[in-house]
């Protein structure tokens, strides 16, 4: 064993000495290439706003492009046998084009002021604050794992008659909905694998177990949920991806299981359409590599388990349902390959609400949302 360790140490030393001896020759060869115009100019290869090295060149969604694209051509030609590089050689373009731009880490604030439930007295302001992070880990040339964390917060600030049904709003605390904070927080796990010899079919399976609750008076198994999905993405043309699958979540009160059906289409360079029914559609245009404009629609929401303490019966609980259907205009700006800022504003077109405190004596505020204003801002980080 000692002899084996010695041989390894000696080999490492010899490799280090060999690399040190070759470094001046490599620098000399690079200088000679630049002198004779053989290598790619740094202003083109290393630019974060040029179409060759940023997401704007393919419509703003090259989020997997490696750092090696910014190196001189001699280093680009050097063989890299890491799993990540081999995966990108086989599937990099597919991964870059299959979906709209989505930062690895998102910090988002949403604002929905003066919202009303049709037929209910009073109104509420909704402030949402979201944290979402994902990190893919390549495990083979055909597959990767996905790990992530998320936290979505909803703070409701209501007017005094809201949730009272218009009858005796100040009789007792259980008669009013009051100000409330709802939280969804958990982890995300996923697997992506390419199927078949053509490398044009990707299967992505994902689950996001977490707590969906007001986090009051203790948690039970009813406070946990497992939003999950399975999605096939099939590349039928160089610029067209067909999508189909199934998803489970509580966005739609009476339909937790629904099929996914959609597509992503790069109509021309910088212009793309992304649709994934029943949750979103968006048209985005990247006039420059660092900036995009978009309009679209989305459905957001969830079911939360809420708790109350009644003097006569002790702990009580119930399910609360929220859903908003939103149309928006937005803009995204990428300061560099790592930082971005997005802003959107629009209107709440509709929604499905059932608000309750969990108390048995409470008459839920139940109905569709009236139209109202919507805005959000998102700070994104990529790595």
Are 106 and 89 in contact by the 8 Å Cβ rule? The answer is no
Cβ atoms of 297 and 273 within 8 Å: the answer is: no
| Bridge partners (DSSP) listed for residue 102 | none
Of 204, 213, 288, nearest to 247 by C-alpha is 204
When pLDDT is averaged across residues 287-306 and rounded to a whole number, the result is 96
Question: Partners of 373 in the beta sheet?
Answer: 347
Task: Show Cβ contacts of residue 328 under 8 Å, excluding neighbours closer than 6 positions.
Answer: 295, 296, 297, 298, 344, 345, 346, 374
DSSP sequence for 226-239: --EEEEEEEEEETT
Query: Quick one: which of 334, 332, 336 has its CA closest to 376?
Result: 332
What's the pLDDT at 197?
Answer: 82
Report domain extents, the chain: 1-38, 95-381
Backbone angles phi, psi at 220, to 5 degrees: -130, 180
381: enclosing H helix or E strand: strand 372-381
Q: Which pTM value belongs to this model?
A: 0.76
The pLDDT tens digits of the residues spanning 343-378 come to 999 999 999 999 988 888 788 889 999 999 999 999
Residue 199 has pLDDT above 70, yes or no: yes
User: How does pLDDT run across 18-61, given as a tens digit for each residue?
Assistant: 444 444 443 444 344 444 333 333 333 333 333 333 333 333 33
Residue 213 has a CB neighbour count (10 Å cut-off) of 24
78 pLDDT more than 80? no
């Amino acid at each position: 064993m000692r002899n084996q360790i010695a041989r390894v140490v000696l080999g490492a030393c010899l490799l280090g000495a060999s690399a040190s001896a070759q470094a001046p020759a490599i620098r000399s060869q690079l200088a000679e290439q630049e002198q004779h115009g053989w290598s790619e100019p740094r202003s083109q290869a290393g630019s974060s706003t040029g179409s060759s090295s940023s997401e704007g060149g393919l419509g703003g969604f090259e989020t997997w492009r490696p750092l090696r694209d910014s190196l001189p051509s001699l280093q680009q030609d050097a063989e890299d046998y890491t799993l990540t590089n081999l995966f990108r050689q086989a599937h990099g373009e597919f991964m870059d084009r299959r979906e709209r731009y989505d930062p690895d880490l998102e910090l988002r604030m949403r604002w929905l002021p003066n919202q009303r439930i049709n037929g209910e007295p009073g109104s509420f302001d909704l402030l949402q604050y979201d944290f979402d992070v994902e990190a893919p880990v390549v495990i083979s040339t055909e597959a990767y794992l996905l790990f992530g964390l998320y936290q979505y917060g909803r703070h409701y600030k209501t007017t005094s008659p809201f949730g009272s049904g218009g009858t005796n709003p100040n009789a007792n605390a259980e008669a009013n909905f009051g100000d409330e904070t709802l939280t969804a927080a958990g982890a995300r796990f996923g697997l992506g694998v390419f199927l078949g010899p053509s490398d044009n079919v990707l299967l992505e399976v994902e689950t996001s177990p977490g707590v969906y609750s007001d986090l009051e008076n203790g948690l039970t198994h009813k406070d946990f949920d497992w939003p999950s999905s399975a999605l096939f993405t099939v590349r039928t043309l160089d610029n067209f991806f067909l999508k189909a699958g199934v998803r489970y979540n509580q966005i739609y009160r009476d339909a937790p299981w629904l099929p996914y059906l959609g597509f992503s289409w790069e109509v021309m360079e910088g212009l793309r359409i992304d649709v994934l029914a029943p949750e979103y559609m968006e048209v985005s245009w990247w006039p420059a590599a660092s900036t995009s404009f978009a309009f679209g629609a989305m459905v957001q929401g969830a079911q939360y388990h809420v708790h109350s303490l009644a003097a006569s019966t002790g702990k009580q609980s119930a399910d609360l349902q929220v859903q908003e259907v939103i149309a928006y205009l937005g803009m995204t700006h990428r300061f560099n390959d790592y930082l971005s800022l997005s802003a959107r504003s629009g209107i709440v077109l509709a929604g499905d609400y059932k608000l309750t405190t969990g108390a048995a004596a409470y008459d839920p505020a139940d109905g569709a949302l009236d139209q109202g204003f919507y805005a959000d801002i998102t700070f994104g980080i990529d790595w």
